[in-house]
Chain A
Amino acid sequence: VEPVTMNAFELISTSQGLNLRSLFEK
Chain B
Amino acid sequence: MGCFNSKPTRQSPGQVDPVVLASQTAFTVSEVEALFELFKSISSSVVDDGLISKEEFQLAIFKNRKKENIFANRIFDLFDVKRKGVIDFDDFVRSLNVFHPNAPLEDKIDFSFRLYDLDSTGFIERQEVKQMLIALLCESEMKLADEVIETIIDKTFMDADLNKDEKIDIVEWQNFVSKNPSLLKIMTLPYLRDITTSFPSFVFNSNVDEIAA
Residues of A whose CB lies within 8 Å of any CB of B are 3-4, 6-24, 26
Contacts and interface: CB of A to CB of B under 8 A. Distances in A.
Contacts of B73: 17
15 contacts: A3-B148, A4-B148, A7-B160, A8-B132, A8-B153, A8-B156, A12-B116, A12-B129, A14-B140, A15-B136, A17-B62, A17-B73, A21-B191, A24-B191, A24-B198
B159 A7 contact: yes
Contacts of B38: 23-24
Nearest to B151: A4
Kindly list the 9 A-B residue pairs having the minimum CB-CB distance in the complex, ordered from nearest.
A17-B71, A17-B72, A17-B69, A8-B156, A7-B156, A15-B71, A18-B71, A24-B191, A12-B132
Given A17-B70, A17-B139, A21-B191, A9 B183 contact: yes
Contacts, number: 91
A9 to B, nearest CB: 5
Residues of B contacting A: mostly: helix
A17 B59 CA distance: 11
A16 B61 contact: yes
Given A9-B116, A9-B156, A22 B185 contact: no
Interface string B35-75: 00010011000000000000000001111000001111101
B152 interface: yes
Contacts of A26: 41
